[in-house]
Homo-oligomer: A and B are copies of this chain.
C-alpha cells in the first residue's frame, strides 16, 4: 500500500497521492507561518538572545546592556529597535536614560524553554566529553 502512483499528469514527478491528500487539509495558514517565522527570527541571533535573557530578568538601560554584553551602544540600540518594532521589548524614559524590559511573555517563554534545553544538552556534552554513548 501507499506505493508511488503517478499523478494524472505525466512527466512530472510521481507523488504518493494518499500521503499528499492526507497532508493538504492540515496546512498552516500563511499569516500564521509568517508571524511565526518572524518570532523565531527574533530569537535566532546570539545578541538578541543575550539581550532578551537579560531583559527578562531585569529592566536595563541601553548603556548597561552594552556593557554587560561587551558590545557597542550602537549595535545594541539597533537590536533594541528591531525588538521594539516586533513589540517584544518596550522602553520607558527616565530623564536622559531609556530603560528596556521584555514585553512579550510568550517569546520570553519560548526563549526560556530553549535555554533550559540547550543548557542541559551542553552540560551533557561537558560530562561525557564525547566518549561513551
Contact = CB atoms under 8 A, between A and B. Distances in A.
B49 A44 contact: no
A109 B19 CA distance: 23
A106 B116 CA distance: 11
Contact of A16 (B23, B24, B45, B61): B61
Interface string A69-82: 00001000000000
A31 to B, nearest CB: 5
B118 A36 contact: yes
A33 B60 CA distance: 20
A115 B4 contact: no
B63 A14 contact: yes
Contacts of A115: 28, 32, 36
Interface of A: 4, 13-16, 19-20, 22-24, 26-29, 31-37, 39-41, 43-46, 49-50, 53-54, 57-58, 60-61, 63-64, 66-68, 73, 97, 106, 109-110, 113-115, 117-119, 121-122, 125
Given A28-B53, A113-B113, 11 more contacts: A13-B63, A13-B73, A15-B63, A23-B58, A23-B64, A28-B115, A33-B46, A33-B50, A43-B44, A44-B44, A109-B113
